[in-house]
DNA sequence: TCATTCGCACAACAACTGTTATGACTAACC
DNA sequence: GGTTAGTCATAACAGTTGTTGTGCGAATGA
């Protein structure tokens, strides 16, 4: 009982990472407790010990994935001159790790669209992301770097552009190598620049 | 045996439409032969009679969905002055019907990402769509309506923008009503215009 | 050292999956 | 009108699913 709470959370994190690996390889259609347990080198008994239900396991895995992604995103200070560009670049699957995250995320759209609760969570996430972008856009406008216009609309447009680029890059990594993704994003940003 | 082939295909089409309805409501996670049969007002015996396997049923349903979508898309002549705009508008979920199609399409990304064969099919579809857009872009450039630049890159950018807008609109129909979707697209096209 | 709690493997459960086999009913043909 | 081929409901199949219980070993605390 003196066991620290850290062990408990560490096991839940390990299980979540196993979920990521299964989702990355087989999607939600192949996400079974047994598959996760095998990936973890354990049995379903471990999973049910740490999570009351499969839904909770998946929810925790996705929450953790979002946390990790957000943590990586804030690696650059917000007052950087190219903060908007960096924020958008962080969404793209430019590394293998980011590609995995994006694949899981895109896959989760299927169960999310079918479940009102999950759908709402996704909607909230994207709304928050757009709010962040909107602030960056407004700041850039004040610095005279960006064209005029409703910052919320520009943020929604930029979010659209990056999201769609993620999808295309996931399905056609050959046609959309990191270099081209960055080039396309920069071309898009150039059209928004006031220079 | 004198029975016309039309009846056969008609039954397969009805089954496919039942698949659409199930996918629209419950996604791929809820897509079972029994659910489709119930939606069809029949039993699984009918489905197995017309399709050797579930995979074939789903493939046929998605093929038919693509056909129907493409058929609707070509409603405007290609030499129209705003052909590019129309082509992009046709992707957006501006009607309930288009929203259903898009929901199914986005949901299909989960199984597609996990299956190399399906993934390849999706890649090919998007590549073809981009080729069409590229030709429209090149034509518009020759007419002096669009900025200079590699038509393929501009097409990829436009495809990205529209795809991402679809995703956001599906999750937040309130925040992205048809009017705003069109406005955002027009704002994007305005940045590409040479005027 | 003994008692107790925790961690988790193991096995079993009922529910559900895609698929198959069987046969009743109907329509078409000679 | 008897035969045949197509249509599909019914029922059963083996396999897989999430979940639940049982129990054993190890770590913990008295």
Instruction: State the helix-helix crossing angle for A151-171 and B151-171, rounded to 10 degrees.
Output: 110
DSSP helix/strand/coil, B143 = coil
pLDDT at A153 exceeding the cut of 50: yes
Which residue's CA lies closest to nucleotide D8 at its C1' atom?
B46
pLDDT digits (tens, 9 = 90+) for B7-16: 888 999 999 9
pLDDT band with cut points at 50, 70 and 90 for residue A74: low
Chain A interface, best mutation among B22, B110, B146, B161, by max A CB count within 10 A: B110
Does residue A129 sit at the B interface (CB-CB below 8 Å)? no
How far apart are the C-alpha atoms of B110 and A27, rounded to whole Å?
Answer: 6
H-helix or E-strand spanning residue A49: helix A44-50
DSSP helix/strand/coil, B175 = coil
pLDDT band with cut points at 50, 70 and 90 for residue B163: very high
Which residue's CA lies closest to nucleotide C21 at its C1' atom?
B45
H-helix or E-strand spanning residue B114: helix B109-114
Q: B10 to chain A, minimum CA–CA distance in Å? A: 28
How far apart are the C-alpha atoms of A15 and B20, rounded to whole Å?
Answer: 34
Closest by CA to B161, choosing from B91, B72, B65, B82, is B91
Model pTM score: 0.92
Encoding tokens for residue B2? 């004198």
A131-135 contact pairs (CB < 8 A, 24+): A131/A155, A132/A87, A133/A84, A133/A87, A133/A88, A133/A158, A133/A159
pLDDT band with cut points at 50, 70 and 90 for residue B77: low
Question: Minimum mean pLDDT among A56-60, A74-78, A96-100, B48-52: which range?
Answer: A74-78
Q: How many CB pairs under 8 A join A and B?
A: 144
Chain A interface, best mutation among B30, B104, B113, B179, by max A CB count within 10 A: B113
Nearest CA in chain B to A155: B184
B62-87 average pLDDT score = 80
pLDDT digits (tens, 9 = 90+) for B16-35: 999 999 999 999 999 999 99
Which residue's CA lies closest to nucleotide C20 at its C1' atom?
B48
A172–B127: do the CB atoms touch at under 8 Å? yes
Helices and strands per DSSP (H, E), number in chain A:
10, 0
């Amino acid at each position: 009982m003196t066991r620290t709470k850290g062990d408990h959370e560490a096991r839940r994190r390990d299980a979540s990472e196993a979920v990521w690996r299964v989702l990355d390889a087989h999607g939600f259609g192949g996400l079974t407790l047994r598959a996760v347990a095998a990936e973890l080198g354990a049995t379903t008994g471990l999973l049910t010990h740490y999570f009351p239900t499969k839904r909770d396991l998946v929810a925790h895995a996705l929450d953790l994935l979002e946390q990790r992604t957000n943590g990586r995103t804030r690696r650059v200070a917000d007052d950087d001159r190219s903060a908007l560009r960096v924020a958008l670049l962080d969404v793209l699957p430019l590394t293998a790790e980011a590609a995995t995250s994006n694949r899981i995320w895109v896959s989760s759209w299927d169960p999310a669209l079918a479940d009102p609760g999950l759908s709402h969570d996704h909607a909230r996430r994207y709304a928050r992301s757009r709010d962040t972008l909107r602030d960056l856009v407004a700041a850039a406008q004040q610095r005279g770097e960006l064209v005029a216009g409703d910052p919320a609309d520009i943020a929604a447009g930029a979010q659209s552009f990056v999201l769609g680029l993620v999808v295309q890059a996931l399905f056609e990594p050959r046609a959309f190598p990191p270099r081209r993704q960055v080039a396309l994003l920069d071309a898009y940003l150039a059209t928004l620049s006031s220079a």
